[in-house]
Amino acid sequence: MATKLWQKSFVPTDEIDRFTVGRDRELDVLLAESDVLGSLAHTQMLEHIGLLTSDELTAIHRELRSILADIRQGCFKIEDDVEDVHSEVELLLTRRLGDVGKKIHSGRSRNDQVLVDLKLWTRRQLRDIVELVKTLADTLLAQSEAYKDILMPGYTHLQVAMPSSFGLWLGAYAESLADDMLFLQAAYRMVNRNPLGSAAGYGSSFPIDRQMTTALLGFESMNYNVVYAQMGRGKTERNVAFALATVAGTMAKLAFDACLFNSQNFAFLKLPDDCTTGSSIMPHKKNPDVFELIRAKCNKLQALPQQVTLIMNNLPSGYFRDLQIIKEVFLPAFEEMKDCLRMTNYIIERIQPNRQILDDTRYDLMFSVEEVNRRAADGVPFRDAYRQVGLEIEAGAFRPQKEIHHTHAGSIGNLCNSEIAERLNQLLQGFPFQQVEDAEKKLCEG
């Protein structure tokens, strides 16, 4: 059995080991690349302050990069009797380099190791999410432009209300995603601060150079106060979860709209056949299963901030093992979010609007406001025009004029899609992705 990093003279029972390790071996594989990146930076700093020789650093970096190659090729695994990813990496180094491999832990704790691993991993995941959100927003805007002249009913209280259009509907979700991008940017900036060097939460007596590791890892800044760096565990995940939840909220609403508009009673649009399923006994059915699953998954993702909060909410400062459980709900959420974004983009690219919606007379009354406004523009006081049209509707004498002339910003005839696209592009430029990519590449290649 491999010796645990913290082990003294006693050995826990298999049952205690199973309970305390939990899902760490399974989930920590996701953090393996980040763990090696952190160790590359940390050991380079150790050599800088004289705790490693130049030859030792060369050997350690050679083997760390070899381990990194194995990780990227899918060959890395955490052995059954090894507690976590940090232990596995150190064990591999010690097997290959002997006592030199044991030196990499100087000046740090598993506490700040997992902190930096989570931050490195999360900022990579956030970049993926941001890029997928941007792709979906671009698709929504493109489809908004393509279908901007196709009118559809707008609803309030689920009652037919006023004219809308596919351009207006699709563009609304693009702008919603632009606002969601602000949450993602705030989350990214909180993640992009270096906790390494906080050790167990109270710093180190070694003369470590935290600014050096901050620069090597491409962080925007460090978490300066070492106690706060440790307090950031849980808080960071919670705030990132809020960013994911706001994207998920936009997606869930879009999915619900699409399911409603696809139903026979609405028939506003047709979903791709391969995104629907049939019934085992009703041959006519085309159920919007993909969007229903997106709606359910996104609703579940909106609960993530509360899950994280309830795990860490009543903890005082300092590290507690409770925080380990956050990984079990936090890490899998990113792949679920990415799947939902990819599938939504796939459907929106292929959605087919019904161009004959307004042929149905049940939608005639949505033009009543247009008629009131037309009379008011001709000089009839608004309240008088409202009463006139209302009485015509009651008498069954109202005849709609279906020509729409909306020109103000953000309306059917002036969608402002280019302004929404520009806002998205400006927000995207606020993420220091290239700086991070350059720093990580330099660490990996030497």
CA atoms lying within 13 Å on the CB side of residue 32: 27
Question: Tens digit of pLDDT for each residue in 131-166?
Answer: 999 999 999 999 999 999 999 999 999 999 999 999
Mean pLDDT of 241-268: 96
List, in sequence order, the alpha helices (H) in 263-408.
Answer: 289-301, 304-312, 326-350, 368-377, 382-394
Give the domains, in start order, of the chain with CATH numbers.
14-106 (1.10.275.10), 111-359 (1.20.200.10), 360-411 (no CATH)
Q: Can you tell me the distance from the alpha carbon of 194 to that of 115, in angstroms, rounded to the nearest whole number?
A: 9
Question: Tens digit of pLDDT for each residue in 366-414?
Answer: 999 999 999 999 999 999 999 999 999 999 999 999 988 899 999 999 9
Exposed, middle or buried by CB within 10 Å (0-12, 13-18, 19+), for 85? buried
Identify residue 74 by its one-letter amino acid code: G
Residue 2: per-residue pLDDT: 53
List, in sequence order, the alpha helices (H) in 351-381.
Answer: 368-377
Q: Are 108 and 197 in contact (CB under 8 A)?
A: yes
Q: Can you tell me the distance from the alpha carbon of 375 to that of 377, in angstroms, rounded to the nearest whole number?
A: 5
Q: What is the DSSP string of 192-250?
A: SEE-TT-TTTT--SS---HHHHHHHTT-SEE--SHHHHHHHHHHHHHHHHHHHHHHHHH
Question: Tens digit of pLDDT for each residue in 177-204?
Answer: 999 999 999 999 999 999 999 999 999 9
Overall residue count recorded for the chain in this entry:
446
Q: Can you tell me the distance from the alpha carbon of 358 to that of 170, in angstroms, rounded to the nearest whole number?
A: 18
3-state SS, 321-336, equals: HHHHHHHHHHHHHHHH
Angle between the N-to-C axes of helices 226-262 and 289-301, in degrees from 0 to 180, rounded to the nearest 10? 150
Residue 194's nearest CA partner among 164, 172, 216, 170 is 216
Question: What percentage of the chain has pLDDT greater than the value 70?
Answer: 96
Give the chain's end-to-end CA distance (angstroms, integer): 34
Mean pLDDT rounded to a whole number for the chain: 93
Count CB neighbours of 13 within 10 A.
8
